[in-house]
Structure 1
């Protein structure tokens, strides 16, 4: 017997309808039936009378209902008391970031946060960094590790964590080590489909009067490293992506001194930045950076 089983039993004892309880408690009817059967087996008695038309509590069922109501009430009160005693944050915080950021920046952040707030569960979502702002705007996560852009929506709050330089990479087999060795009419370029790397790279090309010969547009910076390693072309990627790539040994970094780095940071909705869990995560990392 556990508290979840008692919660399901309590609801069914009130609704007297397996379908209604299953839907309200987010379980399947078959799961609910198994829980009730397990309770009956453990207690050695029948809790519900069931036929094709109705469900009714037995005398034993009424006794268990009285017990379970008090037990669940005591359990909820105990959780409240413990929370007040510990004065600790509780709940779940969802964070979105790229696979690279989950390896480069997130571990230290989470380690410190978990030490100070062990009662908070972290739900990590990874994906294309170009989606970081969209995920926050769509309320699919509480926070994201995102890249600051000049056109960032005004309803978002951004706290900088790090400056990330972009580097130009070429296949190692091409033996290119200097920017002057590149022939932009001959050497093709791998570009990201969306995101700040694409915008910054195109800005650099425009400033230098270069019309890039684009071989392919790909999703994610990690894919650029892979395609460059396969000798499909050259491309700009964040240095942190290259540093954590298993394909780093298959490419060569070509020095480019005048390409703008971008600011990596934590992003959330403006109207949620003062919520306890989000604010705690934000403030912790601001203090660590300072």
Structure 2
């Protein structure tokens, strides 16, 4: 087995969804399936139970998660120990963030880091920001750009990068949803009649759930969606209203196809920051990027 296969395995173990895992790993679903099958053949046991509807970890698969996480963490630690203190800083660094974060935070950070440490290999993986902290905790990534939760898990270092307002958006085009908006304009019954595009996980879901609780609302859910950018796209097409960070909307190609709903005083801003395991800051490569982020933000 190789380290790339272990990474594929951990992603599938987290998502339990071949299409989603292949997207996160930037490979096709057949390639991912083939790599997992090769891994199972080498181990001599099934790691997943698959059918047309679901993917489930076997008991051996659950045990192998710990092995894969520990192996990848030790591999990165060993590589950092091999660093030549007299030569230029070198090694490998992985970061996870949303597509929006690559424009808003990561590009400027990587540009500075690349200029100062050109010998370090940078790996950037994008996906749903709800997975950011978990990727760091499990050792899948060295660092991540994440929305700060109400309680930061123990053992994690956190560096604030910025804040973003939360907004609720709806389509501007004529459709059944805009008919509802016009019919219930300025009415307390508006929210109860709107279909919602809901986030699947993370802080944003917690904020939307809290909003619904305060409004004494059981939302009509059109779909649960992974990824803020996809929520903007679905809202612009009239499938439902969506609560998204303003920073996502600012970078979206669909920002002219949506309108804001009035939620003044109803939604708390989110804070976005850089996270990594506290003990990983002892790694010269990780610490170097952390210091670059400190300089910028």
Q: TM class by shorter-chain length? A: 0.5 to 0.7
Q: 1:96 is matched with which residue? A: 96
Query: For the aligned residues, what is the CA RMSD?
Result: 2.3
Distance in structure 2 (CA, Å) of the matches to 1:94 and 1:179? 47
CA contact (8 A) 1:179 1:255 kept: no
TM-aligned CA deviation for residue 153 of structure 1: 1.5
Q: Go from structure 1 to structure 2 and tell me whether the alpha carbon gap of 1:187 and 1:272 turns closer, same or farther (over 3 Å shift).
A: same
Residue 163 in structure 1 maps to residue 163 in structure 2: yes
Distance in 1, Cα, partners of 2:131 & 2:119:
28
Is residue 2:186 matched to residue 1:180?
yes
Residue 284 of structure 1 is matched in structure 2 by 292
Corresponding residue number in structure 1 for 2:249: 242
- TM norm structure 1: 0.66
1:232-256 residue CA offsets vs partner (Å, 9 max, x unmatched): 1111001111111122221112242
TM superposition shift of 1:88: 2.7
4+ runs deviating over 4 angstroms = 175-179
Contact 1:161 1:265 in 2 (8 A): yes
Which residue is equivalent to 1:267? 275
- Give the Cα separation in 2 of the matches to 1:272 and 1:193: 29
**Gaps in structure 1 of 5+ consecutive residues:** 1-79
What does residue 106 of structure 2 align with? Answer: 106
Give the TM-score taking structure 2 as reference length: 0.65
Q: Distance in 2 between matches of 1:133 and 1:155?
A: 11
Instruction: Provide the residue aligned with 1:131 in structure 2.
Output: 131
* Structure 1 residue matching 2:161: 3-state secondary structure: strand
- Residues 174-213 of structure 1: per-residue CA shift (max 9 Å, x gap): 2859983671221111101111111111112212323322
Which whole-Å CA distance do the structure 2 matches of 1:225 and 1:127 have between them?
15
Please state if 1:145 is matched with 2:145.
Answer: yes
Question: Separation in 2 of the partners of 1:183 and 1:130?
Answer: 29
Q: What secondary structure, in the 3-state scheme, does the structure 2 residue paired with 1:139 have?
A: coil
Give unmatched runs, 5+ long, in structure 2.
Answer: 1-82
User: Contact (CA 8 Å) 1:156, 1:268: kept in 2 or not?
Assistant: yes
Would you say the 8 A contact 1:179–1:256 is kept in 2? no
Closer/same/farther in 2, CA of residues 257 and 160 from structure 1, 3 Å limit: same
Q: Secondary structure at the match of 2:212?
A: helix
CA distance in structure 2 between the partners assigned to 1:197 and 1:130 by the alignment: 8
Alignment of 1:22-101 (within 5 A): 84=86, 87-101=87-101
Q: Check conservation: 1:146, 1:266, Cα contact below 8 A.
A: yes
